[in-house]
């Protein structure tokens, strides 16, 4: 279903992350999402407004995924990068949506830098990334 304007711009679009898709960025001095997580032309997400409608927290998106973390972008942000946001519910997930449009190149990098990590499952991250996190937390 194409965007008919019923999805507010501030809606959070939640995207699951495999542990390997979280990287250390020394330029920013923090962990962030790799651009490799945002390359799908038809990129599945969970729509934040639909989660609110059914009274489910963002963790709903991880209910079948014990090792994945969760990040989000706003609908307004992706729309400003020539993407269309669609509500595409599935039998298993009424909050399912898609961000449709070409993302390769600099666009996927812009998405990666803008994405906010909502839930980080540390136990499954790469060991060297955990070392960075420990060092970062030990710094006063």
Partner 1 sequence: VSPALQAPQYLVDTHVVSRPPIRSTSLISNAQEQRFSLQVSQPAAEWIQSAIAKIEGLTTLAPGWDGYSGKMIDSTVAVQAVKFVIDHAYPTLPEPAIVPTAEGGIQIEWHRGGIDFEVAISDVESTVFVEDTETGNIDERPADQANSIFGDVIGRLAASA
Q: With binding defined as CB under 8 A, does residue 105 bind partner 1?
A: yes
Selected binder of partner 1 within 104, 116, 122, 134 (CB under 8 A)? 104
Whether the Cβ atoms of residue 112 and residue 37 lie closer than 8 Å to each other: yes
CB-CB neighbours of 14 under 10 Å: 24
Q: Which stretch binds partner 1 (CB under 8 A): 10-18, 49-57, 74-82, 83-91?
A: 10-18
| Pairwise CA distance, residues 100 & 78, whole Å | 9
**Cα separation, 39 vs 55, whole angstroms:** 30
In this structure, what DSSP letter does residue 62 have? Answer: G
Q: Which residues of 105-122 are buried (b: 16+ CB within 10 A; e: fewer)?
A: eebbebbbebbeebbbbe
Binding segment for partner 1 (CB under 8 A), chosen from 51-59, 72-80, 86-94, 99-107, is: 99-107
- Which part of the chain contacts partner 1 (CB under 8 A), choosing from 51-59, 87-95, 103-111, 114-122? 103-111
The footprint of partner 1 on residues 23-42 (CB under 8 A) is 23-28, 34-37, 39-40
Please report how close the Cβ of residue 30 comes to partner 1 at its closest, in angstroms. 10
Site residues for partner 1 per CB under 8 A: 16-18, 20-21, 23-28, 34-37, 39-40, 44, 65, 68, 104-106, 109, 126, 128
């Amino acid at each position: 279903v194409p965007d008919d304007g019923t999805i507010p711009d501030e809606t959070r679009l939640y995207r699951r992350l495999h542990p390997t898709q979280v990287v250390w960025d020394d330029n920013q001095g923090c962990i962030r999402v790799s651009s490799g997580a945002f390359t799908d032309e038809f990129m599945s997400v969970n729509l934040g407004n639909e989660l609110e409608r059914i009274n489910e927290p963002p963790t709903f998106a991880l209910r079948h995924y014990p090792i994945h973390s969760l990040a989000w972008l706003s609908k307004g942000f992706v729309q400003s990068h020539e993407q269309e946001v669609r509500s595409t519910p599935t039998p298993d997930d009424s909050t399912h949506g898609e961000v449709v449009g070409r993302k390769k190149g600099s666009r996927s990098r812009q998405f990666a830098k803008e994405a906010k990590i909502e839930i980080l499952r540390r136990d499954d991250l790469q060991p060297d990334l955990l070392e960075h996190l420990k060092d970062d937390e030990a710094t006063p």
